[in-house]
């Protein structure tokens, strides 16, 4: 399957994500974005309506990627440990492919306006599915009988911060990283 060519709008969104990561959503202006793109601010509006539209495009698309990945994982017949390993791999792959967007997802989600409730619904469903996998793993005697919320929080805290660490790794091997993270994060709860 060929990748679709990047449109000017995609280029604007990618540039904005980088600026949002560097300065924070609130500090970035449309003029900053236009300067980074090497175009006049008025030209931006031929492709995008607002900074808010850009933020929505970044965060909602990533949240939907996580939701779609989780849907595949929960529908699989894999063991709960394998499902957790697949969640780790999902986070590594999304973070490795979009570190700037992950920064917005983690740091700027509260600036979503009309899409905030949609985003929170996606996040809550994701966390609920994650927690259910852990609880099912405990019930199936695959996972140590420890507080499932603490297990999930411990894993998610690490996984959500990957975007900070991954860019420092020029020779990143996502498969190897996912495997190593699984050993560390899941090894401690595996029976």
| pTM listed for this prediction | 0.88
- At residue 19, φ and ψ (nearest 5 deg) are -65, -40
- At residue 127, φ and ψ (nearest 5 deg) are -65, -35
Q: What is the pLDDT of residues 151-176, one digit of tens each?
A: 999 999 999 999 888 866 667 788 88
Contacting residues for 171 by C-beta, under 8 A, at least 6 apart: none
- At residue 190, φ and ψ (nearest 5 deg) are -75, 135
pLDDT computed for residue 171 by the predictor: 72
Is the Cα dihedral 172, 173, 175, 181 positive or negative?
negative
Rounded CA separation 30/99 (Å): 21
In the chain, what are the domains? 52-187 (1.10.357.10)
pLDDT computed for residue 188 by the predictor: 77
Rounded CA separation 148/97 (Å): 29
Q: Which one-letter DSSP state was computed for residue 141? A: T
Positions of E strands within the chain? none
Question: Which tokens in the block code for residue 164?
Answer: 């900070």
Q: What is the pLDDT of residues 46-103, one digit of tens each?
A: 999 999 999 999 999 999 999 999 999 999 999 999 999 999 999 999 999 999 999 9
Q: What is the pLDDT of residues 18-55, one digit of tens each?
A: 999 999 999 999 999 999 999 998 889 999 999 999 99
């Amino acid at each position: 399957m060929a990748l679709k060519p990047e449109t000017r709008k995609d280029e604007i969104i990618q540039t904005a994500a980088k600026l949002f990561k560097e300065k924070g959503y609130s500090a970035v202006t449309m003029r900053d974005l236009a300067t980074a793109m090497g175009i006049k601010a008025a030209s931006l509006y031929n492709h995008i309506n607002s900074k808010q539209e850009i933020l929505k495009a970044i965060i909602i698309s990533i949240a939907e990627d996580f939701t779609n990945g989780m849907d595949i994982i929960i529908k699989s017949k894999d063991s709960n440990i394998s499902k957790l390993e697949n969640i780790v791999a999902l986070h590594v792959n999304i973070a490795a492919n979009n570190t700037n967007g992950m920064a917005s997802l983690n740091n700027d989600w509260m600036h979503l306006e009309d899409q905030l409730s949609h985003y929170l619904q996606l996040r809550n469903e994701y966390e609920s599915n994650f927690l259910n996998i852990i609880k099912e793993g405990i019930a199936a005697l695959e996972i140590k009988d420890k507080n499932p919320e603490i297990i999930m929080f411990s894993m998610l805290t690490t996984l959500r911060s990957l975007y900070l660490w991954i860019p420092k790794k020029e020779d990143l091997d996502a498969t190897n990283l996912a495997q190593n993270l699984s050993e560390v994060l899941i090894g401690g709860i595996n029976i």
